[in-house]
């Protein structure tokens, strides 16, 4: 029996058209884009630059401000560690609800002697802008905020945060792995200095991502944290993975065409899922703000039910208890704890991630599976 995939925040299936775009670059077009002496290298270099332009276009950036990485975690490390190499003991700010790919870096910065503020969020998961303003010090150097949370799906007011950063001459980094292709991103309007994105969250291949680095900014002087070649502005040495880069570019083109229609369609599926669950289980609680939330996310707490046991009783659907990057950790979700849930409540929570290839039938099956599996 095939399980219905509803874990699209962890990763997304490869779009068939993306796969087709990648195929020639595995077997026929075999060149290294750094090879400047023959046609194979030339056509590979051209393909890389065309993909770079497609990726830049979806966030309204210049292609020259995009470098390729292995994914959003890699982008976060290159951005944050590269920025902090210029810093002596400065003050930096992030949220308690950030992805581990940012939180763990900030914890390392703290060990190195930097003054780190892990800012609390409101009960609905959104940042308190007044708290952020009050947390800023005269030596605040960097703020890193996730655009859309990977567990509860809330969308932070990035443009407002960007304005605060600009007014205080603070470098602003955004992890946009969960927002790319799902909401409109305009890096100039958001006033972002550094933005991390990933291919496998938008129906592209795994193992490729990108980092936007704002050009013509006197604030930003990224120092390399890897060495071994001059690739990607000396920030990410190594031979570029041309098939993956081509796939990422194609995934961005498709996402840009579908962003509005898919947002509306998936929102309706999410609302139908929630209504169907609440109809039989009115005590279920939604985690995170519903009004400022990515369309495909639903994170719920089911009182007096273990999430692991619920999942075991529902092999027909593939969902998660939270972030795939911490799924081996039996500790309760740090995101749910940060918005006020107890450990017991966090261990009774499930995350549904609805995506491009889900339909109404999938939702009806999920509703029936969950309603059948809940212990009253």
By annotation, the residues acting in catalysis are: 325
225/80 Cα distance (integer angstroms)? 10
Bridge partners (DSSP) of residue 298 are 352
Bridge partners (DSSP) of residue 174 are 145, 195
Long-range contacts made by residues 157-164, C-beta under 8 angstroms, separation at least 24? 157/126, 157/127, 157/129, 157/292, 158/190, 158/192, 159/189, 159/190, 159/191, 160/129, 161/127, 161/129, 161/132, 162/190, 162/191, 162/192, 163/191, 164/129, 164/132, 164/133, 164/136
Neighbours of 100 (CB within 10 A): 16
Neighbours of 303 (CB within 10 A): 12
DSSP 8-state class, residue 176:
-
If 0-12 CB within 10 Å is exposed, 13-18 middle and 19+ buried, where does residue 8 land?
A: buried
The contacts of residue 216 (CB under 8 Å, 6+ apart) are none
Beta strands 297-301; 285-286: pairing state? antiparallel
If 0-12 CB within 10 Å is exposed, 13-18 middle and 19+ buried, where does residue 138 land?
A: exposed
CA distances from 4 to 10, 86, 182, 268, 313 (A): 14, 47, 21, 18, 14
What is the enclosing helix (H) or strand (E) of 345? helix 343-346
Q: Report whether 249 contacts 46 (CB < 8 A).
A: no
User: Which residue in 216, 210, 208 sits closest to 175, CA to CA?
Assistant: 210
Q: Report whether 347 contacts 322 (CB < 8 A).
A: no
């Amino acid at each position: 029996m095939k399980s219905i995939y509803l874990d699209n925040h962890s990763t997304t299936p490869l779009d068939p058209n993306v796969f087709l775009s990648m195929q020639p670059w595995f077997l026929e077009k075999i060149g290294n884009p750094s090879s400047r002496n023959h046609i194979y290298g030339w056509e590979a270099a051209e393909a890389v630059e065309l993909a770079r332009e497609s990726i830049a276009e979806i966030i309204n950036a210049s292609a020259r401000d995009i470098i390729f990485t292995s994914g959003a975690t890699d982008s976060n490390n290159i951005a944050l560690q590269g920025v902090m190499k210029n810093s002596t003991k400065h003050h930096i700010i992030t949220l308690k609800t950030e992805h581990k790919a940012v939180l763990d870096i900030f914890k390392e910065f703290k060990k190195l002697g930097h003054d780190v503020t892990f800012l609390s969020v409101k009960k609905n998961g959104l940042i308190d802008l007044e708290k952020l303003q009050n947390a800023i010090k005269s030596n605040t150097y960097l703020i890193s905020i996730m655009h859309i949370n990977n567990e509860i799906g809330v969308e932070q007011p990035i443009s407002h945060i960007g304005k605060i950063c600009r007014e205080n001459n603070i470098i602003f980094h955004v992890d946009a792995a969960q927002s790319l292709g799902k909401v409109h991103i305009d890096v100039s309007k958001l006033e972002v200095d550094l933005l991390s994105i990933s291919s496998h969250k938008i129906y592209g291949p795994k193992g490729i991502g990108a980092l936007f680095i704002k050009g013509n900014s006197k604030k930003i002087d990224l120092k390399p944290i890897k060495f071994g070649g001059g690739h990607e502005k000396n920030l990410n040495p190594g031979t570029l993975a041309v098939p993956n880069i081509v796939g990422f570019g194609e995934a961005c083109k498709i996402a840009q065409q579908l962003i509005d229609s898919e947002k509306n369609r998936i929102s309706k599926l999410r609302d139908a899922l929630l209504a169907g669950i609440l109809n039989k289980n009115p005590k279920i609680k939604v985690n995170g703000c519903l009004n400022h939330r990515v369309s495909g996310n639903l994170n719920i707490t089911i009182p007096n039910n273990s999430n692991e046991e619920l999942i075991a009783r529902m092999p027909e659907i593939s969902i998660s208890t939270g972030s795939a990057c911490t799924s081996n950790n039996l500790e309760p979700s740090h995101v749910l704890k940060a918005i006020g849930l107890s450990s017991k409540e966090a261990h009774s929570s499930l995350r549904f991630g609805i995506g491009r290839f889900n339909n109404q039938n999938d939702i009806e099956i999920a509703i029936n599976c969950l309603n059948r599996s809940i212990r009253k």
